[in-house]
Structure formats: structure tokens, C-alpha cells
């Protein structure tokens, strides 16, 4: 395309090629902007998933602590007949 443009400039018919270049650059710009928005939205999605994972890990750890606390501080209760004897 650049070679065509240089030949057209030499012969004086560059307007159509300049217009074609402008259109191609505009399309490239739109495509790059679209990719940029897509990357941005994916980054937000990843951040959201990371926060959910951290929250789930925190809740899981709280459950483990609660479970371990109850098991250690309240071992299996004695059977009623053992308490009588």
C-alpha cells in the first residue's frame, strides 16, 4: 500500500490512496480500542474473582477454626449410662 501511495504521489493521483489509508488506520484504531476495552473488562473480572476467592478462603478458615475449637473444647460427650456410673 505504501509503495502504491508513493507511485500515486509521483503521478499525482494520491487522493484515493490517502483516503484508503485513513479508512484502514481508522479501522485499526477501532480494533485496538475494542481490544483495550476487552482487556480492561477481563482485568475487572479477574479482580472480582480474586476477591471472591479470598473471601471464600477467609470463610473456610473461619469454619475450620470454629470446627476445631468446638471439637477440642467439647470432646465427644459421654453416653448417658457412663454419666450415671
| Inside any domain, residue 79 | no
| Inside any domain, residue 40 | yes
pLDDT at residue 15 in the model: 77
The per-residue pLDDT for range 12-31, each reduced to its tens digit, is 777 777 788 889 999 999 99
| Inside any domain, residue 85 | no
The CA distance from 53 to 67, in Å, is 21
Domain region containing 19: 8-73
The CA distance from 44 to 40, in Å, is 6
More confident residue, 58 or 5: 58
Q: Please count the structural domains in the chain.
A: 1
The CA distance from 52 to 46, in Å, is 10
The per-residue pLDDT for range 29-56, each reduced to its tens digit, is 999 989 888 887 777 787 888 889 999 9
Query: Do the Cβ atoms of 5 and 18 come closer than 8 Å?
Result: yes
pLDDT at residue 41 in the model: 75
Residue 26's alpha-carbon distances to 16, 66, 82, 85, in angstroms, are 15, 60, 86, 91
| Inside any domain, residue 2 | no
| Inside any domain, residue 54 | yes
| Inside any domain, residue 78 | no
pLDDT over threshold 60, residue 79: no
| Inside any domain, residue 14 | yes
pLDDT over threshold 90, residue 60: yes
Amino acid at each position: 500500500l505504501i509503495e502504491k501511495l508513493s507511485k500515486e504521489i509521483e503521478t499525482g493521483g494520491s487522493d484515493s490512496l490517502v483516503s484508503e489509508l485513513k479508512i484502514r488506520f481508522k479501522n485499526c484504531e477501532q480494533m485496538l480500542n475494542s481490544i483495550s476495552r476487552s482487556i480492561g473488562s477481563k482485568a475487572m473480572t479477574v479482580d472480582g474473582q480474586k476477591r471472591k476467592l479470598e473471601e471464600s478462603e477467609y470463610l473456610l478458615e473461619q469454619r475450620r477454626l470454629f470446627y476445631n475449637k468446638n471439637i477440642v473444647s467439647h470432646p465427644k460427650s459421654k453416653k448417658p449410662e457412663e454419666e450415671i456410673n
